[in-house]
Amino acid sequence: MAITIKNVRHEVDCLNILTHGSADQWDEVARKPLTGRYNIDSSNGGYKLCRYVNNSGETEITNYRMTARELYYVVSGIVKVLEHNKREGL
């Protein structure tokens, strides 16, 4: 199966839903990022998982750029662990 950035974005949406209750990453009214939400940073053909920490910046969750397939497996693993912990009540 070909894994594209569209698949990675879906997993990031799942991650935001699990941690914040919605997949929104941006406040359309205030025109600023929602603090604590995860997003994908892309440059030079690689991708990083990042998290908004305030209105003007973000922090990197993954330390180096990855292919879409590699990032998909990272984010998918995080989502599976969070779902398991939620099911088990941890």
Quick: pLDDT tens for 62-74.
888 999 999 999 9
Residue 38: its H or E element: strand 38-43
Does residue 86 belong to any structural domain of this protein? Answer: no
Residue 35 placed within a domain? yes
* Order of strands across the sheet that contains 57-60: 38-43, 46-54, 57-60
> Counting runs of H as helices and runs of E as strands, what totals does the chain give?
2, 5
Structure confidence at residue 76 (pLDDT): 96
Into how many domains does the chain fold? 1
- pLDDT for 4-57, tens place per residue? 999 999 999 999 999 888 878 777 776 777 888 999 999 888 999 999 888 777
Q: Would you say residue 14 lies in a domain?
A: yes
- Helix-strand-coil percent breakdown of the chain, rounded to 5? 40, 25, 30
Q: With respect to residue 21, please indicate whether it lies within any of the assigned structural domains.
A: yes
Q: Is residue 87 part of a domain?
A: no
